[in-house]
Amino acid sequence: MKKVKLAIVCTHPIQYYAPVFRELMTSDGVLPRVFYTWSQTAGGETFDPDFGERFAWDIPLLDGYDYEFVENMAKDPKGSDFFGVKTPGLARAVREWGADAVLVFGWGVYAHLRALVDFKGALPVLFRGDSTLLDPIGPLRKVARRLFLRWVYSHVDVAIAVGQNSRDYFRWCGLPSERIVVAPHSIDTLRFGDPAGEQGARATRRRSELGIPAESIVFEFAGKFTDKKDPMLLLNAFMQLESSAHLVFVGSGELEGKLRDAARDTPTIHFLPFQNQSEMPSAYRLADLFVLPSRGPGETWGLAMNEAMASGRAVIAASRAGGARDLIRTGETGWIFESENLAGLVNLLKVALALGRDSLLGMGTSAQKYIAQWSTYEAARGIELAALKAILGSSYDAESVTA
């Protein structure tokens, strides 16, 4: 079977997507090329307003797959603003490459919404998104939102959901189940593994440097210190515990000052600055249990859960973290509590303390085994199947396609 030439439209190189694009290059059914639309990131650096700093990831994001940057002609180029990405040359670049189908990652910038409209009817259009229905919304806004989204997704032939909540969202937006394919929200699980024990040894040294006794249970939050992630809820819950446990915050953001002020004079609460990608496998292993207390809006998944689990750590997650429904198996890989429910979080922290370190690390082993199915291979395989479905339509037979 001739390979399907799949044009992938993405804003900029992202640490979670690059491994999937590399894996797609090994596909028997798909030949991908990534068209990056935020061309100002071609040098490798981006400014993240939530972290509040400009940085470049310290792992390769452009190696091992075919790509090109399409010139972004926006007057004020920003990947976080709808009109901050405009690429009038995108359609021409995709046509000149000879694409058989196009996959658009997200429509939150003008260039990508325009691509859905421009390619509809000209090429099979795939769309990959992770939106959910978890955030509260008023009835009038809900109606208006649904009408608009039904128009957006009327331009999509096959939608790629990342899990159960995004699949429900696509159905709500009017897409029938037969036009939805799941390609799981993934990380490079192998990179976070630690077969030689080097990351674990480094984490032990870092715990010692922080003054954490070897026998103490450690809870951890890693990510952006923003209202959406709600790290203050975790701090307040921890302060209600009467134990020798420790709490580590890893990251930066607008709430850092408030968190540090609230934690002042509490020697069992520690802060580590923003850690680049190569540091994260040992950073997660500082803890015995990872906590993601997100309240949203817009916490569509929470990939820190994937990373923590791949690092051998169980997870407590809030209900509005979009991935919790897929990743958390109560008492096996972690627990879920209702977002913004302080008492619920306090109770789960107490449950974890009662179990002890050995049991928590045993749950972490289970979590690591479970997250293996949310791998870059499975994500690439899902995209491949979606592309073939878009091309072959009703004649498509997933069982006839080799992995």
Query: E-strand spans in 133-253?
Result: 158-161, 180-182, 218-224, 246-252
**CA 168, chain centre distance (Å):** 18
Counting DSSP H helices and E strands in the chain, the numbers are 15, 15
Number of C-beta neighbours around residue 231 at 10 A: 26
pLDDT at residue 37 greater than cutoff 80: yes
**Average of per-residue pLDDT across 330-343:** 98
pLDDT at residue 272 greater than cutoff 90: yes
What would the pLDDT profile of 54-82 be if each residue is shown by its tens digit? 667 778 899 999 999 999 999 999 988 99
400: pLDDT confidence band, cut at 50, 70 and 90?
Answer: very low
H, E, C per residue of 47-58: EECCCCEEECCC
pLDDT of 45 reads 66
Q: How many residues does the chain have?
A: 403
User: Which tokens go with 81?
Assistant: 């603003």
Among all chains, which residue has been given the structure tokens 């694409």?
99
pLDDT of 403 reads 30
pLDDT of 275 reads 87
**For residues 59 and 278, is the Cβ–Cβ distance under 8 A?**
yes
CA distances from 322 to 82, 297, 300, 368, 393 (A): 23, 11, 5, 19, 29
> Where are the CATH 3.40.50.2000 domain residues in the chain?
4-186+375-400, 190-371
Distance between CA atoms of residues 366 and 88, nearest Å:
48
pLDDT at residue 307 greater than cutoff 80: yes
Among all chains, which residue has been given the structure tokens 């994500």?
379
**Element holding 270 (H helix, E strand):** strand 269-272
pLDDT at residue 395 greater than cutoff 60: no
Distance between CA atoms of residues 90 and 67, nearest Å:
13
**Average of per-residue pLDDT across 389-401:** 61
Collapsed DSSP state (helix, strand, coil) of residue 333: coil
**Average of per-residue pLDDT across 342-358:** 97
What would the pLDDT profile of 179-189 be if each residue is shown by its tens digit? 999 999 999 99
pLDDT of 53 reads 61
Does residue 278 or residue 164 have the better pLDDT? Answer: 164
By percentage, how much of the chain surpasses pLDDT 70?
95
What CATH number should be reported for the domain whose range is 4-186+375-400? Answer: 3.40.50.2000
pLDDT at residue 402 greater than cutoff 60: no
**Contact residues for 321 (Cβ-Cβ < 8 A; gap 6+):** 292, 294, 299, 301, 302, 305, 339
- Of 259, 189, 186, the closest CA to residue 227 belongs to 259
H, E, C per residue of 341-361: CHHHHHHHHHHHHHHCHHHHH
Phi, psi angle pair for 9, to nearest 5°: -100, 120
Per the prediction, the chain carries an average pLDDT of 93
Q: Which amino acid is at 263?
A: A
What would the pLDDT profile of 112-126 be if each residue is shown by its tens digit? 999 999 999 999 999
Collapsed DSSP state (helix, strand, coil) of residue 31: strand
**CA 96, chain centre distance (Å):** 32
Does the 190-371 domain belong in CATH 3.40.50.2000?
Answer: yes
